[in-house]
Every structure is written in structure tokens, then in C-alpha cells.
Amino acid sequence: MTEDYRSMWTDLGLDLDAHDALLGVLGSAYKDIYLAQKNRPEGMGYFDFVMSEVHGLRIKELMDEKAAGGKIIGSYCVFVPEEIALAANATLVGLCSGADFAMEEVEQLLPRNTCALIKSAFGFKLGKVCPYLESADMIVGENTCDGKKKAYESLGHLVNNLYVMDLPQMKTDNGKALLKKEYLRFKEAVEALTGVSITKESLKSAIGVVNAKRAAIHRLSSLRKADPAPISGLDGLLANQVFFYDNPARFTASVHKICDELEARIQDRKGAFPEKTPRILVAGCPQAVPNWKLPMIVETSGAVIVGEESCVGERGTRHLTDDTGSTLDEMMDALVDRYFQVDCAIFTPNEQRLLHIREMAAAYKADGVIHYGLQFCQPYLMESIPVEKALEEKGIPCLRIETDYGMEDMGQLKTRVEAFVEQLG
């Protein structure tokens, strides 16, 4: 089967030597971080399998969909509506970031002090190691920050299928009207790509599929409120990461299966960590595969992560779309309503995000919050200070961390996290 994949990767234009090196590092890190955990739920075996095949079987499935006439749309952001893609016989997948790759080449196109996530996305393209990117019939960018907005001008010269979405910066009536215009424009672009007109029936069905996927993650998240925590933060994060790659129906069924197991564990008071282990909520920047650095540090420092206030977490999944509309217009409005609630740091002012972090800290019985900021990510780093102050006003300890995907600061971060956990304990 691996030989079949190598042929497929070659056809996609991947650099096989570089890709082998990436998969080697990924596999080693996964073994050391994930498979070394104790008291894991058996249902995590499915997610282990998904990760072992994330560039193999899953890519073959996507290529088979393309051969059958479907289209693949790659996205970097939770503002890109999966429902519209599905309704037009396309599959939406998350694109690669979360690790440093080909940084010398990247820094010939982007300044050194560009956000780590943007540099990573470019590194996967320049290094020719992301099969999702190379298999995509359309790559959707969006201007969620100045760094991305300008970086897409350069990315447009590296790919021939880039579509850039304009997003509002303020939660006003004008902002909502802009989002609606952009979603209608995106709908037209997807229909042109696929040759399939979106109908009220196809959009209603797609809304149902995505709502089911999010509802499964909501169920998993709610079970993480138990003490002892029935699942580690690493495994909870992994489910949120796989959300962006896997087949939606299969993912939904697999999450419910692990939730059944977690409910039994809660009944038996069986945890991934002992009862009364200090509980941490992680807020801030998204953590894409294979960015497992912070949760590994936290969960080898005497604490457990019980929730993520992140695009790869509750910010991306917490709202369902109203599915009661009877016309295509009503359903498009419902999509706009749903996505306009996402409290990204792009928005100003952004009080809703502060409220949501405090609500999450209470709901998940968090003893403290770690605000995770990627180096040079201005929106989230700028919000980290007001978040810290808002939490401390409520007596909730907060640790602000600013880092990148490199391992050079591991020792320093571990020292700071251990001191924070000790303060909570």
C-alpha cells in the first residue's frame, strides 16, 4: 500500500525525500507524545489510525472523489463554510500548518517576523510536502489578519487556484452584510468550480451533516467537564484536529463511539488523570497538526487540559446552524448568522471572546487558563493582556505564553508551566 501512496504522492508533485523526512518526524513525535500516554480510552485507536494514514489513505479517498467527479477545496480558516462546499458536491479539508518546514525558502518571500502559522503554511507549499494542498481544486484564503492578507498576494504566485474571501472586522450590521455578500460570492465560485448548482435540498442536507459533526464534538467536550477527566487534553485536541481532515460521517460516528466509552469511564470514576489534578483551559491561537508542544508540556507537568478556546476547539465548533429554513435564502442567512458568532481576535471590539473564556473556565471547572499566542500573531497577542486582566478580576489565574513551532524554548516553557501548575495546586 505504501508503494501505491508513493506513486500517488509523485503524481501530486510532492518532494518524496522531504515528505519521507516529514512523515518520519511526525511518526516519531506521535509515538513519543501520544502513544506514551497512560490510561487512554480504547476509542482513541481510531484517531491513531487516522493520523497514521493522514497523508495516505485519506488522500487516496480524496483522489477517488476527484476521479468520480467531485472537487476538493482546501481552507486555512473556520470562517470558510463547509456547508457550501458539501452542498455543491465538494469536500472541504484543512490545509497544512503547525510545523516549521523549508524556513530558508519561506524567508525569501516573507519577513522573518511573520506569524509562525503563516510561515508554516508557506513552508509546506515551498517544501512540496502537503498532499492536501496539492490535491485541492480551490484554495481558500481569507483576510483575518494583516499578515494573511499580504501573504496571500505572494501565495497567489505559487498556486493557480487561490480564492480570497473578504471578512468583516467589526460586529455591526454592515459587517454582517459584508459576510453575507462574501458567502453568496463564495457559493457562486464553488458552483462554478463543481458545475453543481446548490439547491435548498442540498444545502439543508449539508447543514445537517456539519451540525452532526459539531454536535458530536460538543458531546465530547461536555464529557471533559468531569473530574477525574476521562480523556487527556492531548487526545481531546487530536479529535478537534482530525475534525478538519476526516470524512464527516465517519468522524461523527467515531466521536460518538469514544463518547460512549467516556460515559462509562465517568460512571466508573476512571480518568486519564487522577481526581483533583489541576485543570487547565487553553485559550488563544489555533493548534494545528502536528503542533502538540504546549499540551505535552502541560500534561507532563502535573495538570490536565480540559478545553480549548481556539479555532481548533470551541471557537470553531460551538455554534450549530439553524436548520429550520425552508428556502435557499433563509438557509444562507442561517449560515451567515452562525459564522458571524465566531469570536475571532480579528474583530474589534471583541468583548464576546472575553465573556466566552470566562464562561468556559467556569463550565469546565478550570483552575487556571493558559493563553497561547503564536509568535508575531498580533491579534491574539494584543488580546492576551485584556484576557489576563479580565480573568484575574474573577480570581482565575492566567499564564500568558508566546511561542512558535520550534523546540528551542521547551525547557523554559516547561519551567514556567510547572511553576504555574504548582501555584494552582
pLDDT in tens, 335-347: 999 999 999 999 9
Average pLDDT of 381-392?
Answer: 95
Q: What is the model's pLDDT at position 425?
A: 80
Q: What is the model's pLDDT at position 4?
A: 79
Evaluate if residue 375 carries a pLDDT over 50: yes
Instruction: Report the percentage of the chain scoring pLDDT > 90.
Output: 99
* Local confidence band at 195 (pLDDT 50, 70, 90 cut-offs): very high
* Local confidence band at 385 (pLDDT 50, 70, 90 cut-offs): very high
pLDDT in tens, 239-281: 999 999 999 999 999 999 999 999 999 999 999 999 999 999 9
Is the Cβ–Cβ distance between 159 and 125 less than 8 Å? yes
* Local confidence band at 1 (pLDDT 50, 70, 90 cut-offs): very low
Evaluate if residue 44 carries a pLDDT over 50: yes
pLDDT in tens, 277-329: 999 999 999 999 999 999 999 999 999 999 999 999 999 999 999 999 999 99
Q: What is the model's pLDDT at position 3?
A: 61
- Please state, in angstroms and rounded to a whole number, the distance separating the CA atoms of residues 190 and 184: 10
Architecture of domain 204-320+344-424 in this structure = 3-Layer(aba) Sandwich (3.40)
Average pLDDT of 153-169?
Answer: 96
Q: What is the model's pLDDT at position 291?
A: 95
Average pLDDT of 180-203?
Answer: 98
Evaluate if residue 2 carries a pLDDT over 70: no
* Local confidence band at 174 (pLDDT 50, 70, 90 cut-offs): very high
Q: What is the pTM of this model?
A: 0.96
The chain-wide mean pLDDT, for the chain, equals 96
pLDDT in tens, 74-104: 999 999 999 999 999 999 999 989 999 999 9
